[in-house]
A and B are shown apart, each in its own frame.
Chain A
């Protein structure tokens, strides 16, 4: 197996981080897992990319100035394309400067090299504790069930998402959603 991210959650964490760093205030994350396919969509209203930047973003030896001014690698999207190629999947990025970026990918759930989903509650919690005023809205679906949760409503109920006690409550809440899913 060629080296890819260990789990689908690692990939989507990269993508959501990109959205946060692009200044998005609203990030929609749709995660579907079914018997045949894993589908993910990350849509943000961040600063977007023009065509030239987008084509560079697919190159592992490109990273945008500003984030790491002297860095010469950026692996998020390249790793996604690599994984998609390795598992009979597909990945696509649409972006409009000033409006936002949408990344979608789909993996064949039955391909032997398809990464496992990973720990979605822990990944989400991690992403929700990044600084900033963004909302992150998860729409989770299986063929028979689903749930929806957002950073905004958790922060609203708990008061904040920075105190250890609140983070544990948020983690348990997110876990209960995922573990209560009917497949």
Chain B
């Protein structure tokens, strides 16, 4: 692949924005936060992150912000993903591989239902205290 220049990137973005603007001008009201501490990285958080942004983009979802953060203290359950959607409880999911990441996009963000068997509820006590 030839190296893209910043100008190429600017053009790609302008093209993308035209199609996005048609879809949905609404506010960014939801957030997906992927834990990327040492533990998250080791457990495959990069693949999870990638799967989530690809799925959100493929479904044309524009109201979700995606960020990364450090360790949430749930190293035994990495990769962890916190999902904040209005009118739903704030949930931290654990053991989120790429497939579960896509499931979170479908079930939680689009379907407004929680994804069973992956809910960790909240950060570890040594983090929140």
Q: Tell me the nearest residue of chain A to B8, going by C-beta.
A: A173
Q: Which of A23-31, A63-71, A88-96, A105-113 contacts B (4 or more CB under 8 A)?
A: A63-71
A27–B69 alpha-carbon span in the complex (Å): 17
B119 at interface (Cβ–Cβ under 8 A)? no
Residue of B nearest to A69 (CB): B129
Does B99 belong to the interface (CB within 8 Å)? Answer: no
The reply to whether A126 and B126 contact each other, CB–CB distance below 8 Å, is no
Q: Is A131 an interface position by the 8 A CB rule?
A: yes
B65 pairs with A130, CB closer than 8 A: no
Contact partners of B68 in chain A: CB under 8 A? 126-127, 129-130
**Contact at A10–B3, with CB atoms within 8 Å?**
no
Q: List 18 A-B contacts (CB under 8 A).
A: A5-B38, A5-B41, A10-B38, A10-B41, A13-B36, A21-B70, A75-B38, A76-B38, A126-B68, A130-B67, A130-B69, A157-B6, A157-B9, A162-B65, A166-B13, A172-B4, A172-B12, A173-B4
**Told that A10-B38, A13-B36, A164-B64 touch, could you supply 9 new A-B pairs with CB distance under 8 A?**
A68-B127, A129-B67, A130-B69, A131-B67, A157-B9, A163-B66, A164-B56, A167-B53, A168-B54
Instruction: Please state if A179 and B1 are interface contacts (CB–CB under 8 Å).
Output: yes
A69 and B9 within 8 A (CB): no
Of B42-50, B81-89, B90-98, B110-118, the segment with at least 4 beta carbons within 8 Å of chain A is B42-50
Using known A-B contacts A10-B41, A162-B65, A164-B53, determine if residue A126 contacts B46 with beta carbons closer than 8 Å.
Answer: yes
Cβ proximity bits B1-37 to A, threshold 8 Å, 1 near / 0 not: 1111010111011001000100000001000001011
The DSSP consensus for interface residues of chain A is: helix
User: How far, in angstroms, from A120 to B52 measured CA to CA in the complex?
Assistant: 18
Contact size range, B: 35 or more
Report which of B9, B61, B66 forms a contact with A169, defined as CB distance below 8 A: B9
Total cross-chain contacts (CB, 8 A): 113
Given known contacts A5-B42, A162-B65, A173-B9, is B16 in contact with A70 (CB within 8 Å)?
no
Indicate if the CB atoms of B46 and A122 lie closer than 8 Å.
yes
User: Are B65's CB and A126's CB within 8 A?
Assistant: no
In the complex the two chains form, what is the Cα distance from A127 to B45 in whole Å? 12
Q: What is the CB-to-nearest-CB distance from A129 to chain B, in angstroms, rounded to a whole number?
A: 5
- Chain A 138-159, CB-CB to B under 8 Å as 1, else 0, gives 0000000001000001100111
Is B57 in the interface zone, CB < 8 Å from A?
Answer: yes
Contact in complex: B69, A167 (CB < 8 Å): no
B1 and A164 contact, CB distance less than 8 A: no
Within 8 A of B (CB), among A1-55: 5-6, 10, 13-14, 17, 21
A176 contact from B1, B42, B45, Cβ within 8 A? B1
Of the candidates A76, A158, A159, the one having the most CB atoms from chain B within 10 angstroms of its own CB is A158
B44 to A, closest residue via Cβ: A6
Closest 8 CB pairs of A and B: A180-B3, A70-B126, A164-B56, A162-B65, A176-B4, A179-B1, A122-B46, A164-B53
